[in-house]
Amino acid sequence: MTDAPQLYLMTPTGAQASTLAPLLSEVMDRFAVACLRIRGGAEEDELGRLADLYREIAHQRDVAVVIDDHLRLAQRHGLDGIHLTDGTRGVREARKELGTDAIVGAFCGSSRHDGMTAGEAGADYVSFGPVGDTALGRGEPASLDLFQWWSEMIELPVVAEGAITRDLIRQLSPVSDFIAIGPEIWTGDDPVAALSTLWG
């Protein structure tokens, strides 16, 4: 575990491709992004169009692309893998469908047990969250203690997500492999400036 986690970037939900493409390109040109995660929240056809756009932007910059929950879209649009938002369910199936080279990640809320189960089922990483104060999270927030325990006991990479602040990044950096940022920067007019403030 290093003291410098990598940036795991999430796309905004409900964004228009024409609006987002230049913004996403600028963000990815300015910051070293380790992985791009396509959020759901759109019809499958629209998600497919977005997947093609995001894949092109990301792969030009050697950045892997995963998508929330949509196995078929991941396969059809040449994405690098899938992010499962329902914890351990579906990890084995995703691994079987996508093969050993694909990325399979699992969101496990604040459950150490779910994280370990996901790893045993073949996940490449787990994410815990929300780490900050938000009304959007399911259940209890993921505590700093969880990340500290995980970093000491488990080798599987861990992502911190949900209501990220600059202070949380400072606290989580020694015990997280990746920090997921998305809604924190896309709600304003200048995501590059917002990310600079957070990540800078």
Q: Residue 71 pLDDT > 80, yes or no?
A: yes
Residue 191 tokens, joined: 């995501």
Indicate whether this model's pTM tops 0.85.
Answer: yes
| d(C-alpha 76, C-alpha 52), whole Å | 10
How many of the other CB atoms lie within 10 Å of CB of 70? Answer: 19
Mean pLDDT of 62-69: 98
pLDDT value for 42: 83
Mean pLDDT of 89-112: 96
Q: Residue 137 pLDDT > 70, yes or no?
A: no
pLDDT value for 1: 44
| d(C-alpha 130, C-alpha 107), whole Å | 10
Residues 7-55 have pLDDT tens digits of 999 999 877 777 889 999 999 999 999 999 999 888 889 899 999 999 9
Task: Look at residues 97, 42, 101, 37 and name the one whose alpha carbon lies nearest to residue 72.
Answer: 97
Question: Which residues touch 135 (CB under 8 Å, ≥6 apart)?
Answer: none
At residue 3 the predicted structure's pLDDT band, cuts being 50, 70 and 90, is low
Q: Residue 2 pLDDT > 70, yes or no?
A: no
Question: Which residues touch 54 (CB under 8 Å, ≥6 apart)?
Answer: 11, 24, 36, 38, 65
Residue 88 tokens, joined: 């351990």
pLDDT value for 30: 97
Domains annotated on the chain, with CATH: 6-186 (3.20.20.70)
- Residue 167: HSE in the Cβ half-sphere, 13 Å Cα cutoff: 2
Percent of the chain with pLDDT over 70: 96
